[in-house]
Amino acid sequence: MNSYKIEAGTAQHIGNRPQQNDRTALFTGARAPGYMMAVLAVGANASEQVLHTAKQLFDEFKPGDNPGIERLSNLLREIVHETHLVIKMNGVATQTEPHATFAALIITPGGQGVWAHVGDSRLYRFQNGECKSRTSDATYIDYLMETDKLPPETAHNHRHSKLLVNVLGNSRKEPFVAIGSHERLDAGDSFLLCSDGLWHFFTDAELGAVLARNAPRQASGLLIDKAAERAQGKGGNCTMAIVKLVKPPKDVPNYTVQKMGRAV
């Protein structure tokens, strides 16, 4: 039995943009009891498709006795691949080229966390407010060095090293999916999935402190307000999903007359 319960929530603000292009959602597994998934996508005319495909494939997922990190990673890769194909087909039909970033997290009833991302949306993992890991472009740079055989400096300055090129729906390049995982999750662990309209304005330490001290709803409100203040009227769409693992409340003894009688 897990020594934690999950508190989670989503929030977003349009910023100074004419429309909201971000989407985020929390899902439970239709055929996977105890599993949950958080998804965040950014992209006009494409982010809604990310959520739709993610929910569809997650609903079809049957974990079995022990799915393991690799199988969960493959599920996230499959979501990216399927969404990428649909977005490209939609672009052909509409004679446009819609793009979307992707960030997703799966938490299992066995205390495993597996996540994936494509593009410049981010996922953070905190432990008691301290940032233990976060997605970045470092893995994509390594990928360019390996596949394109570029030296480090060239890879950093290469036009393909820009994360906006690594997106779902790009007709010229398949998306590179970065995967991360952590086992033995416990109370005090928390995750933040967010768009660049949020993470651009905060340090890792600031984000961790807000999540550690507040429930998801209060934390999201504080972060949105502070991001708007720091943007000084120039902020973009601001979207996040927060998942916190907290200690369950202690059971309060509730003795009935019958139980007390037997105890005597």
Task: List pLDDT tens digits, range 200-247.
Answer: 999 999 999 999 999 999 999 999 999 999 999 889 999 999 999 999
Is pLDDT above 60 for 146? no
Looking up tokens 């390996």, which residue turns up? 146
**Range of weakest confidence among 1-5, 56-60, 91-95, 113-117:** 1-5
pLDDT for position 258? 45
Report yes or no: 165 and 99 within 8 Å, Cβ to Cβ: no
Is pLDDT above 80 for 109? yes
Is pLDDT above 60 for 139? no
How many structural domains compose the chain? 1
Residue 174, domain CATH: 3.60.40.10
pLDDT digits (tens, 9 = 90+) for 10-35: 999 999 999 999 999 999 999 999 99
Looking up tokens 């006795």, which residue turns up? 65
- Average pLDDT across the chain, whole number: 88
d(CA 240, CA 254): 39
d(CA 264, CA 41): 60
pLDDT for position 257? 46
**Range of weakest confidence among 5-9, 107-111, 136-140, 238-242:** 136-140
Is pLDDT above 70 for 166? yes
Structure letter (DSSP) for residue 215: -
Q: Which two tokens stand for residue 206?
A: 């600031």
**Range of weakest confidence among 67-76, 79-88, 246-255:** 246-255
Tell me, rounded to whole angstroms, the distance of Cα 16 from its chain centroid.
Answer: 24
d(CA 186, CA 169): 36
d(CA 222, CA 199): 13
Q: Which two tokens stand for residue 236?
A: 């973009």
Structure letter (DSSP) for residue 34: T
What spatial distance separates the first Cα and last Cα of the chain, rounded to whole Å? 31
Quote the longest CA-to-CA distance of the chain: 80
CA distances from 234 to 152, 176, 228 (A): 34, 30, 8
Buried b (16+ CB within 10 A) or exposed e, 44-67: bbbbebbbebbbebbeebebeeeb
Partners of 37 in the beta sheet? 27, 106
CA distances from 90 to 23, 43, 86, 108 (A): 18, 14, 6, 33
Give me the domain span that covers residue 230.
5-263
H or E segment to which residue 116 belongs: strand 113-118
